[in-house]
Structure 1
């Protein structure tokens, strides 16, 4: 909004407001004001306020679309880089722009009133967030093994899905308007975006609504609308009857109910054709009886469809368990380059994916809320796309069994599969609860409920977070995750260029250790990972601060070897910030809290302080590597010293700073990880 536009709009608001105020001031208490003038001024005021709100919304939409375009351009740049150095720089910029987009889309999601649009925005944001780590590993693998077609397929798939997600954001923000010139990597994207409206449940409700409507307002249009609505219902029932996992009893019940419904509707249409032009046809008892028979048949069919979907959902645990076991086998066979067994296991894994996809499709049909319909649909899409990519990543590792990057890439795609299986399990639970007339609500179970008034010593219990609280913490977690990804990319670049010399580089190892701890804290913000309670989070933050202190000491010793100049000045400026951030994190962790609100605030503060510390550590590590490369300095090494204590027990791992001759007679014990 320009300054001129803002001033003009403010004048439009103030002018009628001033008129109303003047009328009220000038009118005597015993005399009613000029009603016509007052109404006219009120309408002008309402219109002006509406224009202000519309213009403000346009500004927000443009900001969001601009942020989305920035991320799109960064993706294009990431896809075109040919060396690791350029990739690290491009990924750093991409991370900053992703954080901005996450904030704007999160705010927009909370503002959306339409349940379906809100669920679509949540699905798009989840794809972008989860795909970030896969984008990092698949791109590194492709750069490391440029001639490998499977690694290129992994990377291209991730790029395609992220662009799909951004198209979906554009679609939701524009409320169903998709710029065809910007769409990519899809043939039926518009159909995928809106197909959640065509569930069996939605079509059945539409048919029943038409039957009730035509019962009251019988006209010629019913002879066209009812057959089309019936055809839509019968078309959806084929997904149930054609499924290989539908039991014989349920299939027969669905077919019988479908035929009965079709017969009842045909009979009703015949009655309409015979009596529609006669006076009093609406009150004909035969029509009322026929409509009631149609509605009862529709309800019977709906019940049988729901029973069939729920039965498959209840039996899903076998398929998901088998899939996770097959993923473990795929990992081992890829590491051993056992191509024949990998091919056989991959076929079994694809069958398991197909089974889960079938259940997702049926769950979408019987889900009673649009949120569940959208969630089931996009979980199905993501599983269909990313599930087979586990096999593709395994093929890359089988071709290069010694590649650490290829191994890491497989692990990340396997983690994505586990996330999607977890999503399916959650949807199954929610659909089952809704079918039992329980209130459908999206909840998270990652935070405990503090004891009553903070006075009890009983173990803390899990608490259900509302959307606003979860969103606030998740934003900070995403920022921390992106910083973690940037540091991982930097350390991996260093290891790639110095594989032989820097195998035991202590700075790299400690930085990766901190990165792993930060990532587990990020997972906590999503209700995932090994950290289950707030106490787990606070303990992890304490370990994180201690590891930062140890890394600070190692880098402080390293800085003694760096010649004076701009590089050393930059290194020391960032390094001197570390103790301050460590202390702030430690103080935040030790802060005593009482009550739910205080606990949420502490969790958010801990994530924020961890993110700040991680940010400065990332800058310090990057500067260290630049100095080591520029001045040819040997990085400190962590070596295992074969020594024992007096009683014969082994001592902890020892840290011997290499490249410091005057300190070589000392051994610095480090805490175990």
Structure 2
């Protein structure tokens, strides 16, 4: 009877597990269907955007497109967080990065086409953006459905480091007598690896010394493999201690040779990358292209377009070399993404520059070129991060990974943050931070618009406002995992200074208010009285340790910052209007005084 009861329980448990599994699979299919449906909506709207012929229609459709892209970003962001396969996660991150950056490019490229409908380079530029977005959308669907269109397979070759890793596993298996690969098979495997080192030895950027060293180590690896196989055959015939020791020594020798080869390849690739990034850090070519564009200098355009193409080829080649030595599949994918980005963006910058050169007075063409140049500069920054992560992996330490909209980790040596530990936000928290950041970004844009209205850019109020806006923009970039603020410590320090700058602004506005009439002064003081408490509150939050709650502290800080920026926009607008009013009253008073003076003389 007891046995029967146990059997029933087991059967019920199995049925329950089966039911739960079915529910989970069904839920997964629902999510996949949501993503596919969202992608299809985005594609349909993109097709309408491609065919649009008027600004008014474009604005309406692009507004819809923006909403659909936000929905798609949320769905794919959640999916990315749920993925367990690091390779798929990296591919998803790369595809989503393309879509995010291309959205702004699509806007400016389309506007440029509408403004200059007969410009071939403008159309080429726009087509490039649309094509890249479509490829990225397809890539997302490949990842979530786990299948390629038409049954295609991943044809990307195995990197050198991955090849060496697999080869060493075969050698270990040989030593342990787990299985035997033929002599020809092992030599063929090694040759495939060594053939790929030709990417290094054939590169025009590899120094003669490094090239010779790589060739020398490749030859040594072949000799060591020959010796290993010879010793292994002997060990099969004679089971003596001395032969076993010699076999062990042969295994160690080839392992050492391959490790030395890895080190040399790593040094070569990382040094090339570091030198190239340093050389192009000032973005001289991009600045020159912008200048030739606004000057309408076609000869200059040809010269600097050629230089950018050379720079692009250098960066593409270095990305290929970095992929070989990246050490992990996610980093390999990031290298491939960087290579593709430089390849595509380089061409698009040239077409955008050509459009501006043909229409040098076009503001939208200039804005379009700026957007593509910013994308290039951003990718250069991403490549620096990639290089650091590759070095971290090679040296046995993992660099801090900043996922999509994830919060950077706090530094340990800050007194205010000693008790704070890395606190990775969940998807809901990420969405909240992203929303706060977006609002903050919009407010900085509003503040900058207000600042531009002022004729006197040296005015103390303007200077304070500009500083605050710049700091707030850095905070906005932080919420996207970008910009100069890399850690929570950086953010907190920035906001401490931001609060001080807010108090300076309040002081400057108070000084200005003394020149105003009572009603106007009261209006201004009311706004100041809103700002000052917020500054003090922000200072308090930045200095208050919150045990194990990094997200909560960051959330509070950004919320206070956003509120202060909203008041800043109001203050800048109000001060500008009151200043104009004051100037008009003064001018009017001067005119009346002069008139009275003239009347007195007559």
Q: TM-score range by the shorter chain?
A: 0.7 to 0.9
Where does 1:640-659 land on structure 2 (aligned, <5 Å)?
A: 652=579
Partner of 1:401: helix, strand, or coil?
coil
Aligned to 1:63: 34
How far apart are the structure 2 equivalents of 1:469 and 1:588? 29
Per the TM alignment, residue 93 of structure 1 is displaced from its structure 2 partner at its CA by 1.0
Per the TM alignment, residue 314 of structure 1 is displaced from its structure 2 partner at its CA by 3.1
How far apart are the structure 2 equivalents of 1:289 and 1:300? 16
Aligned to 1:468: 425
How far apart are the structure 2 equivalents of 1:434 and 1:518? 33
Aligned match for 1:214, one of 154, 161, 174: 174
RMSD: 5.1
Matched, 1:137 2:108: yes
Decide which structure has greater helix share: 2
Where does 1:283-322 land on structure 2 (aligned, <5 Å)?
A: 285=244, 288-321=248-281
Q: Check whether the contact 2:421–2:550 (CA below 8 A) recurs between aligned residues.
A: no
Aligned match for 1:234, one of 191, 194, 205: 194
Per the TM alignment, residue 156 of structure 1 is displaced from its structure 2 partner at its CA by 1.0
Aligned match for 1:244, one of 198, 204, 218: 204
Q: Deviations over 1:390-438 (max 9, x none)?
A: 2211111000011110010011111101100001111112222333322
Where does 1:537-576 land on structure 2 (aligned, <5 Å)?
A: none
How far apart are the structure 2 equivalents of 1:608 and 1:141? 36
Where does 1:43-442 land on structure 2 (aligned, <5 Å)?
A: 43-175=14-146, 177-180=147-150, 191=154, 195=156, 198-217=158-177, 219=179, 221-223=181-183, 225-266=185-226, 268=228, 285=244, 288-321=248-281, 324-442=283-401
Matched, 1:533 2:491: yes
Aligned match for 2:434, one of 477, 482, 500: 477
Matched, 1:600 2:551: yes
How far apart are the structure 2 equivalents of 1:589 and 1:78? 48
Q: Check whether the contact 1:103–1:475 (CA below 8 A) recurs between aligned residues.
A: no
Structure 2 gap segments, 5+ residues each: 446-451, 454-465, 506-529, 567-572, 590-602
Q: Check whether the contact 2:234–2:243 (CA below 8 A) recurs between aligned residues.
A: no
| Runs of 4 or more consecutive aligned structure 1 residues displaced over 6 Å after TM superposition | 270-276, 278-284, 444-452, 482-485, 513-520, 586-589, 605-615, 654-657
How far apart are the structure 2 equivalents of 1:48 and 1:397? 62
Aligned to 2:598: none
Q: Deviations over 1:288-311 (max 9, x none)?
A: 554444333322222221221222
Partner of 1:61: helix, strand, or coil?
helix
Per the TM alignment, residue 135 of structure 1 is displaced from its structure 2 partner at its CA by 0.8
How far apart are the structure 2 equivalents of 1:157 and 1:205? 38
Aligned to 1:644: none
Partner of 1:362: helix, strand, or coil?
helix
Per the TM alignment, residue 515 of structure 1 is displaced from its structure 2 partner at its CA by 12
Partner of 2:103: helix, strand, or coil?
helix
Q: Check whether the contact 1:319–1:356 (CA below 8 A) recurs between aligned residues.
A: no
How far apart are the structure 2 equivalents of 1:405 and 1:326? 21
Rate the CA distance shift 1:235–1:115 in 2: closer, same or farther, 3 A.
same
How far apart are the structure 2 equivalents of 1:296 and 1:450? 37
TM-score (normalised: structure 1): 0.67
How far apart are the structure 1 equivalents of 2:193 and 2:317? 18
Aligned length: 541
How far apart are the structure 2 equivalents of 1:451 and 1:205? 38
Rate the CA distance shift 1:407–1:293 in 2: closer, same or farther, 3 A.
same
How far apart are the structure 1 equivalents of 2:305 and 2:170? 48
Rate the CA distance shift 1:609–1:83 in 2: closer, same or farther, 3 A.
farther
Partner of 2:425: helix, strand, or coil?
helix
Per the TM alignment, residue 466 of structure 1 is displaced from its structure 2 partner at its CA by 5.5
How far apart are the structure 2 equivalents of 1:67 and 1:479? 24
Rate the CA distance shift 1:106–1:134 in 2: closer, same or farther, 3 A.
same
How far apart are the structure 2 equivalents of 1:612 and 1:70? 35
Where does 1:577-588 land on structure 2 (aligned, <5 Å)?
A: none
Where does 1:611-650 land on structure 2 (aligned, <5 Å)?
A: none
How far apart are the structure 2 equivalents of 1:280 and 1:227? 25
Partner of 1:100: helix, strand, or coil?
helix
How far apart are the structure 1 equivalents of 2:285 and 2:139? 32
TM-score (normalised: structure 2): 0.74
Per the TM alignment, residue 228 of structure 1 is displaced from its structure 2 partner at its CA by 4.2
Partner of 2:205: helix, strand, or coil?
coil
How far apart are the structure 2 equivalents of 1:656 and 1:97? 48
Q: Check whether the contact 1:211–1:291 (CA below 8 A) recurs between aligned residues.
A: yes
Q: Deviations over 1:622-661 (max 9, x none)?
A: xxxxxxxxxxxxxxx99x99xxxxxxxxx9556999xxxx
Q: Check whether the contact 2:231–2:243 (CA below 8 A) recurs between aligned residues.
A: no
